Structures are given as structure tokens and as C-alpha cells.
Amino acid sequence: MAIVIRIPEVETDCAESIVLYHEPVMTTEVMDLMKPLGPGLYLDGTVGGGGHSRLLLEMCRECRVIAVDCDHEALDVAKATLAPFGERVIFLRARFDEALDRSGIVEPLSGALLDLGVSSHQIDSDKRGFTFRRKVDLDMRMASDEEGIPNAAQLLNDSNEKILARIFHEYGEEPKARRLAREIVSRRNDKPFRTSDDLVAAYSKALGRNPKAKDKARIFQALRIAVNREIEVLKNGLFRIREALSPGATIVVISYHSLEDRLVKNAFREWSSSCVCIPGLPICTCRGKPLGTTLTRSPIGPSDIEVARNPRSRSARLRAWRKS
Ligand SMILES: C[S@@+](CC[C@H](N)C(=O)[O-])C[C@H]1O[C@@H](n2cnc3c(N)ncnc32)[C@H](O)[C@@H]1O
């Protein structure tokens, strides 16, 4: 029986709606690395439209999934997508770095997946404010109704010049980050930032020309990373998930930003080293053995066929690590 999913712009049956909401990337590679074959509990820390979880649950009839997303709209779609699997799925609205502690679940994990960033639906929905399309209110909060988290406009209006420059330099690798930060601070005194147009106008002035789409994408992505504290959450989340994995279990991380990919690479490298002492110490004082093995020497990207079918998969980079 077809499941009807109602999301503001889209209303369709289940299989089609997953693709419309978000097409899961590198599914074969994820399943090959996770090997969900026997009974076990898996964490999908970024369940989105539920595409990856659905494949995992179909592939392994004895597997159960903790399906986590901090966005209540995404979780509603995942609930509809994964409804056929009944009690094999536990849904939790939380950030993935705090999900396990909030769930109270202590059973070790047989595997975990983090497919970072935003879903296609979030980017395509103007009311979420992730896009540089014209006249869109700058919001960018993943958990859109969470109180106490400043949205993108508030961040632009309230942060000092140094912080703004750091955001665009570190997260956006923007060579003119300082000039852009100065421009934002000078403009907001006359008119506070509210929409995508305000930020694009400041960026055009700082650059001295109209920015290309890829430059705007970088700047908007940098702001989104800052609004949601994505780097800090990833750092904490990786550590917390590693602790929860059972021996032999794999964590797979798909990232879409070089900074996130580097963080994942370095974490996996450190966990796979036998010695993490400061170089030059006369004797080893650390754990003295690796905690597991990195399964991906270099990051795996999508195939040409996948990029042709789903251009948004282009920047995805997948890394995996298995606990000893
Ligand atoms: C790329 S999509 C995941 C798509 C999913 N794999 C699928 O098959 O549909 C990323 C999802 O992660 C969620 N998300 C991003 N950061 C998060 C965080 N720190 N904690 C929980 N969910 C997060 C977003 O709301 C979004 O729904």
C-alpha cells in the first residue's frame, strides 16, 4: 500500500517521495561498509527522509535503527517512510551528539551512519532560509523551531567583525572574509540584515563584482555551519558514537565540506594509531594500541553515474572506521 507523505510542497506516494524529499547518496558503498547482516542496533544520526535507513532495514530483517534528526519536518517524513518497519525503528528528535544520552539506550551499536549537512528538501524550501535564492529570509537553523538558537540574520546583525571574518574565512575559505565582515558591520547600522538579498549585496560590494553561484554557495554554507555549530557538534558526536560502538561495528560518515571531511579523517587516523603521545616523549604513556581500523584510505566519492543522476551528490565524501 502506498504511504502518502504530506510535506508542504510535495505530496506523493512513499517510494517517490523519498527521492523528492532527498535522494540518499552512495547507498551501495554505505551498505557494503556497514554490512548490516545479523541482529543489531544501528544509529542513523541524520535520518533525513529515511532513505539510508530504509535500505538498511530492508537488507537486514533482524536489524533495528535509532532514527535521529534535529529537524521535526525531516523526522515526520522519516516516520512515514519507515512506518512499514514498525517497532524496529526508534525515532528521536535530537542532535546526533546528544541523541544517545537523551535516548537512555545503553545497548552497544552494531553500526552508525552520519550523512551530514542538509537534505534537498531543506535547501529547496525557501522558508528554511538555507538558500541564496532571492528574497529569502535568512534562517538556516536545522532545528527550525528551537528557541535560544540565533538564526542566520541574528548572527549577522549581532556578531562582531572579528567573529564574522572568522566564519567566512574558516568555514567558507573566503579570501575577502575581512572585507566582507567589515561591509556587513557597516551596512547593518543603517538596515539590519534580513534576507538573502542583503547578504548577496554586501558580498557583491566586498568583492567589487557580482559573485558567481559557487561563491554564494560557499558563503551561505559557511553561515549555516556557524548557525548550527556543525563543526563542534561533529567533533563531539564522533567521539560519543565511537564509545557506543560494539567491537567490530563500523561508523560511516558522509561529509560535504572539506573542513568536516578533514575532521573525520583526523579523528579516524588518531583512533587507528597505536600511539597518540606528543612526538618526542622518551616512552609511550598513552593507550599504546589502536582502537580500530580506518576502512577508507582516501575518501570515497560518488560514481560518475551517480553524479549524473543526482548532481547534488557531487561533493559527498565518505569515510569509514571499524572498532576493534
Ligand atoms: C543529508 S541529509 C540526510 C539524508 C538521509 N541520509 C536520507 O537518506 O534521506 C542530513 C539530515 O541531517 C539532519 N542533521 C544535520 N545536522 C544534524 C545534527 N547535528 N543532528 C541531527 N540531525 C542533523 C538534517 O536535518 C537533515 O535532515
pLDDT digits (tens, 9 = 90+) for 221-245: 999 999 999 999 999 999 999 999 9
Give the β-pairing of 292-294 and 317-323: antiparallel
CATH, domain range 4-121+231-323: 3.40.50.150
Closest CA to 220 of 242, 189, 193: 193
Segments making up each domain of the chain, as ranges: 4-121+231-323, 150-227
Question: CATH topology of 4-121+231-323 equal to that of 150-227?
Answer: no
pLDDT for the residue 18: 52
pLDDT for the residue 148: 78
pLDDT for the residue 14: 44
The residue whose grid cell reads 549581532 is 158
Residues 6+ apart with CB under 8 A from 203: 180, 183, 211, 215, 216, 219
Task: Tell me if 216 sits within 8 A of 244, measured CB to CB.
Answer: no
Report how far residue 42's alpha carbon sits from residue 135's, in angstroms, rounded to the nearest whole number.
41
pLDDT for the residue 13: 43
Topology of the domain covering 150-227? DNA polymerase; domain 1 (1.10.150)
pLDDT for the residue 220: 96
pLDDT for the residue 131: 87
Strand partners, 321: 251, 294
Which of 10, 23, 69, 72 maximizes ligand 1 atoms within 8 Å of its Cβ, making it the mutation to test the pocket?
A: 69
Average pLDDT taken over every residue of the chain: 92
Which of 46, 81, 254 maximizes ligand 1 atoms within 8 Å of its Cβ, making it the mutation to test the pocket?
A: 46
Ligand 1 center to 207 CA (angstroms) = 32
Angle at 58 between CA 54 and CA 64, to 5 degrees: 75
Residue 237 alpha carbon, nearest atom of ligand 1 = 19
Ligand 1 surroundings by CB, under 6 angstroms: 22, 24, 45-46, 48-52, 68-71, 74, 95-96, 115, 117-119, 142, 233
Ligand 1 center to 323 CA (angstroms) = 23
List phi, psi (to 5°) of 223: -65, -40
In this prediction, the residues of the chain whose per-residue pLDDT falls under 70 are: 1-19, 144-147
pLDDT for the residue 3: 37
